Structure 1
Amino acid sequence: MVFDFHRGRRLRRTAVIRDIVRETSLSPADLMMPYFVVETDDQNFKKPISSMPGQFQLSLKQLELQVREAVENGLKSLILFGIPAEKDPVGSQAYAEEGIVQQAVKMIKGIWPDLVVCTDVCLCEFTSHGHCGLIKDGRILNDPTLDLLARTALSHAKAGADIVAPSDMMDGRVAAIRELLDESGFEELPIMSYAVKYASAYYGPFREAAESSPQFGDRKTYQMDPANAREGLREASADVIEGADILMVKPAGPYQDVIRMVRDSFDLPVAAYQVSGEYSMIKAAGINGWIDEKAVVLESLIGLKRAGADLILTYFTEDVLKYMGNK
């Protein structure tokens, strides 16, 4: 007997059959939740982020309460962004021993020692000008910034961070951080590099959340042109050589081709950041009833896993943990 067509529907006939042949899955270990922690004396401070419904700026106490609920729902890892009480041209609170991120790391690790705490290493939330590097005559200086980034990473390590994640896109920052960490006895601390980070229009809501909008110009001299993919492989290769342990692509959804290229080119774990604009668009459509929010969220994350992401940073993490608990 000769069969003249393929019966793919045989493996789609029931929900259980579809489950057992499913190629890609999503688990709590795949998701990292971003949090915005604010330096404030008001421990009841919990400010909604207007452009990111369901997300907040949090005091240390409110961060503790938020993380506690998420851990109870299965949270495995998080990343911290800090908003200091005062900013200056050199972002000194980024690497202050008792800076807000450092305080948050100590608090979280003291309560949940097994929870993976990652820290964003950058200056933009801490500088008065909002750029990720030092400024001179209107130029963002690369090499003088590296020492401050390394000092920031070291201060996070000393506070107890499990992973440091440089997001600045200064050339050579992974090497500078790796060298200082190793010299200081933190040779086993991983670096998750924002290796392929684009100058994206999808970051708008984040800049409200982190209060990090540049006060002049833009970030196109150090973040990547969205039109370029091969350049991303050069950036990732440089970070591998400098000592990165995890490579991140940011944003995620519009750059799934780049995620796949990085996955196929390197044997390190690959992270993808589903950024604020991606979150806000799905949220807005869900709130307006235009889409099934839960279904679209899960489909978007499976798409990132299928593209090659091992770890996804997403503001939907808390929601997805609840979905998984309600199966």
Structure 2
Amino acid sequence: MDTPDRPRRLRIDGIRPLVSETTLEATDLIAPVFVDATTDERVPIETMPGHERVPVDGAVDRVEEIRETGVEAIIVFGVPESKDGEGSGAWAADGVVQAAVRRITAETDAYVITDVCLCEYTDHGHCGLLEPDAREDPTLTVENDPTLEALARTAVSHAEAGADMVAPSAMMDGMVGAIREGLDDAGHTGVPIMSYAAKYESAFYGPFRDAADGAPAFGDRRHYQMDPANAREAMREVELDVEEGADVLMVKPALPYLDVVRDVRERFDHPVAAYNVSGEYAMLHAASEQGWLDLEATAYESLLSIKRAGADLILTYFAEDLAERL
């Protein structure tokens, strides 16, 4: 007896695209750009095949390459010439990100987002100002409240350089409120904040720390980044950022935390972003190099799963590779 319920009827080629529930477009993607003030030429990132650090003079060309694929938004990370204990290069008017953003916004139509954190600029590699004796005592790390002023100064300097959006990633309590106040006081009321609202202390960040030269010199970041075991806590973190004025809510990493992406999507009306991080990118490349996976197919499926979970925007190292297919 023929069953009346046959889902296969809608899986043939003619109808399949019409009933597809989830779409992935090049305009959903944000491409990272690494700008390095210590080099005059492009430097391949060994742990992230296909990606390079580019000199400040090469930032515009790099962004134009991305734009040609159909990706419209980029996020800029900087590698400074020098570092210090406070990370003062993060807010310097002539800093690497500020210099690159001025050129990019003057010469391209890209939507420019900037990462707001101190880890690339501190000589200790942590995301804020250290507590006294933190270098000797592993139970101590970053002072939360003094770091807020530094993050706000950094965000304002990025906006003054021309950034369209700022994205604080330091996971300090109150950082969104401090940055919103700083931006508003400086006249940048129209610059939105994409907060790394639920950022986990993850093992998937290794290649990025090579790319941005931002690995901690000692200890780890478990005292301020989230415990991978916690999902309910993520809702508290996100709600606080919403109350402080976040415009877009980021979950990082993406694939191991799709449940969190879904929970944020269902609970909040704000746009949701997910960061398909360097380790997620590198592991697919490694498997592909062994002949175990089809790189393009698995990358596409990975990003589709992130979108299906509820992300509106995806920050991914696959942006250029997949844009033409999309």
Class of the TM-score when normalised by the shorter of the 2 chains = over 0.9
Q: Which amino acid aligns with 2:114?
A: T
When normalised by structure 2's length, the TM-score is 0.96
1:67 aligns to what SS in structure 2? helix
Task: Kindly indicate whether residue 9 of structure 2 is the aligned counterpart of residue 13 of structure 1.
Answer: no
2:78 alignment partner, one of 60, 79, 82: 82
Q: Which residue in the other structure is 1:110 paired with?
A: 106
State the distance in 2 between where 1:107 and 1:71 align: 15
1:134 aligns to what SS in structure 2? coil
Q: Which residue in the other structure is 1:276 paired with?
A: 278
1:248 alignment partner, one of 243, 250, 259: 250
State the distance in 2 between where 1:24 and 1:87 align: 44
- Cα deviation, 1:182-225, whole Å, max 9, x if unaligned, reads 11111111000000000000001111001011011100000000
State the distance in 2 between where 1:64 and 1:38 align: 13
State the distance in 1 between where 2:185 and 2:314 align: 30
Q: Which residue in the other structure is 1:263 paired with?
A: 265
Shift of 1:286: 1.4
Q: Which amino acid aligns with 2:92?
A: A
Shift of 1:66: 2.0
Shift of 1:5: 4.8
State the distance in 2 between where 1:3 and 1:184 align: 69
Task: Kindly indicate whether residue 134 of structure 2 is the aligned counterpart of residue 134 of structure 1.
Answer: no
2:66 alignment partner, one of 47, 52, 70: 70
Pick which of 274-283 and 286-295 moved more.
286-295
Runs of 4+ in structure 1 over 3 Å off? 2-5
Q: Which residue in the other structure is 2:221 paired with?
A: 219
- List aligned pairs for 1:192-207, cutoff 5 A: 192-207=194-209
State the distance in 2 between where 1:159 and 1:215 align: 30
Asked whether the 8 Å contact 2:156–2:182 carries over to 1, the reply is: yes
State the distance in 2 between where 1:274 and 1:11 align: 31
State the distance in 2 between where 1:111 and 1:21 align: 41
1:35 alignment partner, one of 24, 33, 36: 33
Shift of 1:3: 5.6
Shift of 1:322: 2.7
State the distance in 1 between where 2:119 and 2:113 align: 17
CA root-mean-square deviation = 1.1
When normalised by structure 1's length, the TM-score is 0.95
State the distance in 2 between where 1:257 and 1:3 align: 37
Unaligned runs of 5+ in 1: none
Unaligned runs of 5+ in 2: 135-140
Q: Which residue in the other structure is 2:138 paired with?
A: none
- Cα deviation, 1:286-322, whole Å, max 9, x if unaligned, reads 1221111111111101100000000000000010113
1:306 alignment partner, one of 288, 305, 308: 308
Q: Which residue in the other structure is 1:120 paired with?
A: 115
Q: Which residue in the other structure is 2:20 paired with?
A: 22
Q: Which residue in the other structure is 1:58 paired with?
A: 54
Counting aligned pairs with the same residue, the percent is 57
1:163 alignment partner, one of 165, 187, 205: 165
Alignment size in residue pairs: 319
- Cα deviation, 1:95-125, whole Å, max 9, x if unaligned, reads 000100001111110111x311000000000
Q: Which amino acid aligns with 1:64?
A: V
Q: Which amino acid aligns with 1:130?
A: G
Shift of 1:57: 1.1
